[in-house]
Amino acid sequence: AGPSAAVSSSSSSSDDTRLAHVSDPSMEFLLTEVLHWVEQSCHKNSEDEESAIFAAEMAASKLERMGYSVGYRLCERLAQNKTFGASAAGKDPAQAVAASQLEAVKFLCKEFWMEVFRKQIDKLQTNHRGVFVLKDMDLRWLTRLPPNQEEARVAAIQLLAFPCGLVRGALSNLGIPAVVSCDFLADGTNMSACSFNIKIK
Amino acid sequence: ISLKQQFILHAALDRLEELDGPPPGFGWRSQGVNGSDAMWIGLLLPIEDTRVYGYMTTTKMKIMVVVEDTAVDPTSQKIRESDVKALMVEVHRHFVEYTLNPFNKLGDTMIVSSKFEEGVADCVRRFNNTV
């Protein structure tokens, strides 16, 4: 693809001319290319199904690790001037820990998601015992997928490994080790709905 | 970095962890404080002829500064402390920039970066010159 005469995706005011802008199409092309590269570099050796599954898993975890690195580093920048409110005084320790985890996840849903996807998470659910479900009904990177195609579905699920890593990386930097998985919620026409499940270790 | 300095730093780190308290931590923080004020811990340890100040970021990164104890009266000490705080905010900034570089290792490894070292040395020099 040639250079894109692209729309900037910065969400801040246009007065600040020093702010770096990222081109949306370039980012999406890059992600697609990364997906291809990761598949190729984990290419299966023999033709049996087991090694195909193994190769797919290796590719997914490679992509997830990339996401982890990006998420971790981005979190350092975004939390540079942030403090998470909730005072621990007067609460029992388990409650205080749960409250601080909730603060961290809320930071993820708002500021972090805003920075990466220019919108916030649409729905946050928790069981207050270390499990969180984050739903995004319109994930930026999936919006251009053709509806109702099996190939696109598969690609979407593969691509979602990256945001999973982003979430895991950001939480890890805040001192919260977790396992992050995701579900593709697409219903045919809307190919960009997904949910992320965070289970704190 | 001398053995004596290492000893002082470890002792200060112990004190820092004491102040931090049990999870979720940040035990020194008072209500409603935000930003760099919330990350500033203050005096950790007056030991021998030095004072050690502490600072901890939201991402649990700790900065400790060892200052030679020359100030005599409380007001000049207060001024010094605000200078130390400014120093720590600068070091924090350098750390964030270091972390953003994807070629740098994450986690508990030693920071090997001339840019980081020069930046910190610069901050220290500026602090020393404002005494």
Query: What value of ipTM does the predicted structure carry?
Result: 0.88
**B31 contacts on A by Cβ (under 8 Å):** 87, 89
pTM flag (> 0.80): yes
In chain A the beta strands, taken as DSSP E runs, fall at 123-126, 131-136, 178-184, 194-200
**A89 contacts on B by Cβ (under 8 Å):** 31
Q: B39 CA to chain A: closest CA distance, Å?
A: 8
pLDDT of residue A187: 77
What is the mean pLDDT of the segment spanning A33-39? 91
User: Which of A72, A84, A93 is facing B106, going by the closest CB pair?
Assistant: A72
What is the mean pLDDT of the segment spanning A136-140? 89
- Cβ distance A139 to A154 under 8 Å? no
- CA-to-CA distance for B9 and B6, rounded, in angstroms? 5
Please, what is the average pLDDT of chain A? 83
pLDDT of residue A5: 37
Whether A73 sits inside 8 A of B59 (CB atoms) is no
Q: Locate tokens 């021998």: which residue?
A: B48
Token duo for residue B108: 């508990």
Whether B39 sits inside 8 A of A83 (CB atoms) is yes
What is the mean pLDDT of the segment spanning A39-48? 79
A residues 33-92 lying closer than 8 A (beta carbon) to B: 69-70, 72-77, 79-84, 87-89
Q: A63 CA to chain B: closest CA distance, Å?
A: 15
Per mean pLDDT, which range of A42-56, A99-113, B3-17 is the poorest? A42-56
Whether B33 sits inside 8 A of A83 (CB atoms) is yes
Whether A87 sits inside 8 A of B22 (CB atoms) is no
Minimal CA–CA distance to A103: which of A171, A42, A54, A45? A171
